[in-house]
Amino acid sequence: MIFSNLSGMMMMIRKFLIYCALFLIFFMPEKALSNFYDFSFDNIDGSKILLKEYEGKPILIVNTASFCGYTYQYKELQNLYVKYKSKGLKIIGVPSKDFGNQEFDSNSKVKEFCEINFNITFDLTTITNINKKPKHPFFQWIKNEAGFLALPKWNFYKYLITKEGKFYKYFTSMTKPNSTKFINAIENIL
């Protein structure tokens, strides 16, 4: 009888520890390694995008893909950029193969595709890991600032950063860049 109770108690403790570990993995923020302005991206043209150079400007960062059902959003993002760049808005598109392998294999093809089909003039990064290792640290920062649910689950997640380099809001793929709620959020941080 003592052994069966002890065995049952050990099983409960084991389950409790497993649930605690899962909670820590998915919901507890990891120690922040940097502030927003410490990050950089490799620009698709071979230069560096140093976020500290965008200090004092509102920033929109979007994970993108060329073969996604949401790729049409490139046009809407370009329209936003043209409309708000005079007010300081910076947009950074982050191409990735992480969601459905829906991106070209080379940066030059991504750049050509975006320029020819959407006349993109905002910054594009090189093809970047978002949830595969090595993961770009910006996305760890997003998890720390906004929680696990804010991490991209698909292409065209949108992250608004204030002029002070603070996380403001995120929007999923389903939110169109020309939607009223998205435009209102941008105008709130201009």
Residue 64 CA to residue 87 CA, distance in Å, equals 24
Burial class of residue 141 in the structure, from the number of CB atoms within 10 Å of its CB (0-12 exposed, 13-18 middle, 19+ buried): buried
Q: What is the DSSP letter of 150?
A: G
Residue 55 CA to residue 45 CA, distance in Å, equals 22
**95: cis peptide before it, omega within 30°?**
no
Positive or negative, the CA dihedral 148, 152, 158, 163 is positive
Task: Identify which of 72, 64, 74 has the alpha carbon closest to the alpha carbon of residue 156.
Answer: 64
Residue 23 CA to residue 20 CA, distance in Å, equals 5
Catalytic residue at 68? Answer: yes
Which of the following is catalytic: 59, 60, 65, 68?
68
List residues with catalytic annotation: 68
